[in-house]
Every structure is written in structure tokens, then in C-alpha cells.
Chains A and B, each alone.
Chain A
Amino acid sequence: MDSQELASIASRVRRHIIRAIHQAGSGHPGGSLSCADILVALYFSAMRIRPDEPDWEDRDRLVLSKGHACPALYAVLAERGFFPVEELDSLRKLGSMLQGHPDMKRTPGVEASTGSLGQGLSQAVGMALALKLDRRPARVYVLLGDGELQEGQVWEAAMAAAHYRLDNLTAIVDFNGLQIDGRIEHVMSPLPLVDKWQAFNWAVHQCDGHNMDALIGALSWVGKVTGAPSVIIARTVKGRGVSFMENVADWHGKAPDAEKTKVALSELGGAGVGR
């Protein structure tokens, strides 16, 4: 699949995100839109998966550590065929398989129950350790928020991943620079990111998190790293693709009303609130 096709899937994913959050009346559009391209590059290019066999033992895994961005993950999983796209309408509703934060017991293709920030990397380390122990070829990916790096447990896990030389583990930081209360460096700076990960003995790569060629390049670079875990610092824009949401912290966890939804969908190349 070329980068043009990937970009067009990403546009559809963004429209799903806006529609689903609007229909739910709540959710997290900003961080979902910032990581949409990353997830499309993973699920439609890098990852070895079988949507019709979600429990395949040798599958690559993704842990969405920034669980609040699950509308993006759900949209990508639906587009990839793990469940019908129509399910996206049930986001956050009673009895839905699409919970407000990821629930691996309910959703095919979701590899970890997350939402409480800082806990995904540890789980990914555990998966990577177990897969190595069984000499399985699978890779474990984990998507982290940049604000999330303020959680101490992330660095406990980063230490462990390097200690156990988990070269089957790749972290991707969705570096959009914003968290609920504002800019990350104003709230509690986790910077400098590259130096920190390097100091924790990870192989580090930086790329534009909205450029499909750059993302595919970064995801192929991780395969060349041996003896250490790899991290991709993906520079992104929170709210990417919707002009009034871009770089506005206020759109971290707020649903657009009908009018805003219409504007957002038209900017994303699709008309109307319906599918």
C-alpha cells in the first residue's frame, strides 16, 4: 500500500473519530487526531496481524498506552476489518464493545486495557519478554502520549526494557506538545525527549508523525535495531486535520456539537454527520 492510499485511509479514520465522538457526546478528539496517521501506518503497513484471527499467537501487538485516544484505535481496527465500521456509532454507550477507554475483554484487536496513564509500557515490556522467552517473531508496539511521560512508571518500564535488551519492543511517542492543562513544558516538562530515552539506553529515531513516508521509514528502521528497545519520537499536531482543534488544548477532551462536527467533517473531506 503506498503512502497516498494510507493517507486516504487516515482521512476516513479522522472522519470516524469526529462522528463517533460527536455521537457519543464526549471523548477525546485532540489526541485521537494527533495519532491517527501513526496508527494507520502501523495497522496498514508495519504490523503482521490477522483481523479474522485476532488471537493469532505470532501477531504483532499494539498497546495504546494513551488509552483516551481509543476513538482513533477503534476507527483503525474497524477499517482494518476487526469489527464492522457500524460499531463505531456505539462508542461510549451502555453495553457497547467500544468503551470510553480500551477494554481488551470487549473489543477484538485491542491488546491491553488502558486509560490510566503510564501503565502501557510496562504491559508491553511483559509481552515482549514473554514473546522472547517463547522465541516468537512478533513485535510489540506501544503508543505513548508526551504528557504521559510525566508518569514515573513509564521510566521504570523504560529501564526494564533496556535492561532486558528488548529489541522486539518499539515505543512511539505522540509528541503533540499539549496536555489537558496546557503546553507540556508549562505543566511539567518531560523534555528533552531524545536525551532522556537515549540515557535510558533506547535507540531513538525522530520523524514527522503526519508524513506517511516518514512514518513507514521509521517503522522499518526499528527492525534494524538489535540488542535494545527502539523509540520513535513522532512530532504531531494535536487536533490535526480540523482547523479549529489544531494546537488547542481545550479540544483534548471535548465533543464537537452538530455545527462544529459539520465543519470538521467538511475540512476532512467528507460531508454531513452521517456516514
Chain B
Amino acid sequence: MAGKATREAYGDALVELGAVYEELVVLDADLSKSTMTAKFQKAYPERFFNIGIAEQNLMGIAAGMAAAGKIPFASTFAIFATGRAWEQVRNTIAYPAHNVKIAASHAGITVGPDGASHQALEDIALMRVIPGMTVLVPADAWETRQVVEAAIKHKGPVYIRLGRPAVPDIYDETYRFRIGEASLLCDGDDVAIVAAGYMVHVALSARDILAREGVSARVINMCSVKPLDSSVLLRAALECKAVVTAEEHSIIGGLGSAVAEFLAERCPVPVRRVGVRDLFGQSGEPGELLQAYGLTPEDIVEEALEAIRAR
């Protein structure tokens, strides 16, 4: 399946939607060629603002532009957007509920050779804990296009997590995304795999392996990590009675935590989390890193069988 990186789809979506939404402005911190906001800069130079290597200022300026009626998209790498500028995002963007969209690329271990300093494995946790912040993790180019428009239409702060490598297409132009709604990719009743972002197509591969072993897995794309789709999760827990989460993020504080927190209170069933296990990353090719950190289809299969055995 051909596909492109979610960051590239983000750049394309900005160009397309920039024509529709006049208030849309884009800010970057000297990474516009990597975050792909350079596409927007080329199309609408007067609405693009390079803030230089100053991520805290990036967030503050975006907040000020929102206060004056703009819909700013602030982009840089996920580690800097959510880590370095966390308190700016909390106090200056989220506390006043400013209409700022933080679209951060190079999230997760698949950043690859740049290594641990540039691989954000904590960004979902850092954004999810902030009151009023919506957290969206698109799985492919088509979903990214939908997510960008949903973020524009949503009034308030949104965090969009984007990846560096190309990902296979899961959807096509008919796909429609809504904040707070998960997408059921395939039905099954032995175990539910709840995935987000890059790990959605990995989850689909895991499902194929499980099917060959006679296990019927449901695959849910939980792009909307906050707010979670609670009804889809509840149904999955009731009907499958075992749940596995999969994300390119620490198992602490991300999608896995969100799902486990929800199910522990509302419908306790065995939950297993596939993710990075409280470690920093390192240099390597994305494929090697996914293998080294336990993020392959086989890892999901193993945890799925564990969850089934535990119920």
C-alpha cells in the first residue's frame, strides 16, 4: 500500500485549507522543511511566521494571535512543542482556552537516527494531562487531512501528533473523522486492539497473524486520544473481554494509560499495553527501533494472547 508521512499530509492539508479559512496562520520554529509547513509558507507567505529556534516564544506568539482572532497552527518537533514549551502551552494557551493548534511532527521512536533527544515518547502524556486540551493522533495521510480540518472547526486548543516516516494508507478520500469518535477498522470478538498513529497499520498486521491462529481480533483506531471514544471502548471490553493497546509512545501516560484508566473504572477486563517500556530511545533505522523496543506485529500478538489468557 502506497502512503505518505502524516507530516507531509499535514503540510498539504494546510495548503488546501488555507484557501478556505482566511484566519488560518502558520508558525514554525526553524523546522518548516521537516514539519512540512514550508508548503504553506510557499502558498501563503504573508500568513506564515518563522519564529526561529525559540519554542516558548512560538507558543506565546501563537496564543497572542489567537487572542486577536486568528487560528494559529504552531509547528515544531513533538519533543520541543510539548517538552520545552510545556508550561507555555499550559498557562498561555490552554488556561485561557486559546484557539491554538499545536501540530508537532517527529513524534515517537520512528524519528530514527537522530536518536533519543529527538524522539518524543512522552508527548501524549504531557498534552493529555492539560485541562481542555484535545489530543489527536492520526494514522495515515487521509486521516491527517481530516484531523487538520476537525482541529480548525473545533474552538479551543488541539494537539496533533505527526510522524516522520511514510505510513501505508489505511483510509481513502471517503473517510470522515470526528473528534471523540474512534474508527472501527475490523470487527472481532476474542480481543480488541486499540491503536493510534503509526501503530494502527502494525495492529492490522497483528490482526492478520492472529486470524491465522484462529483468534478473532477487533482493531480500533483511537485517533482521538482525548476525548476518548468511551462507547466504542466499552463495547470492545464487553464483547471481547480482553484489550491490547498499541502506540509509539511510553506505556506511561499515553493511549495505553488512557484506555486502562477508563476500563479500570468502567469495565475492568485484562488490558495489555504495547509501547516503549519506560525507556529512552536511541539511534537506528525506524524498523530496527520498532523491533528493539517491542513495537512489532508480533509484540502485539504476544500481548493479545496474554490478555486472552488472563481473562
Contacts and interface: CB of A to CB of B under 8 A. Distances in A.
Interface of A: 57, 63, 103-105, 111-113, 115-116, 119, 121-131, 133-134, 152-153, 156-157, 159-160, 163-164
B88 A119 contact: yes
Interface stretch (B13-21, B48-56, B158-166, B255-263): B48-56
B267 interface: no
Interface stretch (B67-75, B111-119, B290-298): B67-75
B97 to A, nearest CB: 7
Contact of B64 (A105, A122, A163, A164): A122
Given A104-B96, A111-B67, A153-B60, 4 more contacts: A105-B97, A113-B95, A125-B61, A126-B66
Contacts, number: 104
A130 B70 contact: yes
A160 B67 contact: no
B167 to A, nearest CB: 33
For chain B, which range describes its interface: under 10, 10 to 19, 20 to 34, or 35 or more residues?
20 to 34
A126 B96 contact: no
Nearest to B29: A156
A129 B47 contact: no
Contacts of B47: 133
A57 B70 CA distance: 12
Nearest to A153: B56
Nearest to B56: A153
B92 interface: yes
A122 B57 contact: yes
A166 to B, nearest CB: 11
Given A113-B96, A116-B87, A119-B88, A126 B67 contact: yes
Contact of A127 (B56, B59, B65, B88): B65
B231 interface: no
Contact of A112 (B59, B67, B70, B87): B67
A130 B65 contact: yes
B61 A153 contact: no
Contacts of B59: 122
Nearest to B55: A156
Given A104-B96, A105-B97, A116-B91, A124 B54 contact: no
Contact of A125 (B64, B72, B95): B64
A81 to B, nearest CB: 22
Nearest to A157: B57
A123 B87 CA distance: 14
Contacts of B49: 129, 164
Contacts of B25: 130, 133
B26 interface: no
15 contacts: A57-B69, A112-B67, A112-B92, A119-B92, A123-B67, A125-B64, A129-B49, A129-B64, A129-B65, A133-B70, A156-B51, A156-B52, A160-B51, A160-B57, A160-B61
